[in-house]
Amino acid sequence: MKTDDLVQLLASDIEPVERHAVERRLAVALGLGAVLAATLMLTLLGVRPDLAQAMHLPLFWVKLGFVAALAWTSLLATLRLSRPGRRLGWVPGAMALPVLFIWALAGIILAGAEPPERPDLLLGATWQSCPWLIALLSLPVFAALLWALRGLAPTDLPAAGATTGLLAGTVGALVYCLHCPETAPPFVAIWYLLGMSLPGLLGGLAGSRLLRW
């Protein structure tokens, strides 16, 4: 078969892709993953008993806003990398902004605290379990997002795997916020960020294998 004939054959059955198909597929995966993560959290951990009171505290919303901002920018990165040949462009800079904000706020709070108070601000009562629980809650989200991306056409597989893992980590952290009693920005700046980064690291290392198509 001649090259021109092969090209004509491959092009003969092309159908237009449904508009917003990528967004819908990722939305389904995120919704399913979030429900599974919430179910896992309720089964293993439970909602913090003083959640209603905690929601009146500004630092609770600072923590939630930080995680939500990182989730949104991670979603933008995943949307871009789920399409063939797309680059991240300005998105990494946007992803860095919430991290720089929480680090700056943590630094200000630590600088203004008395030295004996600083270990509690940094470690809280749950530093040993917090990152691992966030990573655990991210697993169903990560699995659902991998399913979504395997049905799409990412070409930079390590980067797509990393952003997918980070997105899963942020959703896991959002769910974990309903259980976690910690609100100090120094704690959040270290242990929450570590917990969200672990799935991102896994996705980056295994993306070439997990997202191969």
pLDDT at position 155 is 80
Q: For the stretch 85-96, what's the b/e string if a residue is b when 16 or more beta carbons lie within 10 angstroms of its beta carbon?
A: ebebeebeebbe
pLDDT at position 3 is 54
Rounded Cα–Cα distance for residues 188 and 97 (Å):
15
pLDDT at position 10 is 41
DSSP 190: I
pLDDT at position 201 is 94
Matching residue, tokens 């913090």: 48
The token duo for 155 is 């070409």
pLDDT at position 84 is 77
pLDDT at position 5 is 54
* Amino acid in the structure at residue 95: M
Rounded Cα–Cα distance for residues 88 and 173 (Å):
23
| Residue ranges in the chain modelled with pLDDT below 50 | 1, 6-7, 9-11, 14-17
Matching residue, tokens 């008395």: 114
Instruction: Specify the pTM.
Output: 0.88
> What residue ranges do the domains of the chain occupy?
21-210
**Quick check: 19 and 115 in contact, CB under 8 A?**
no
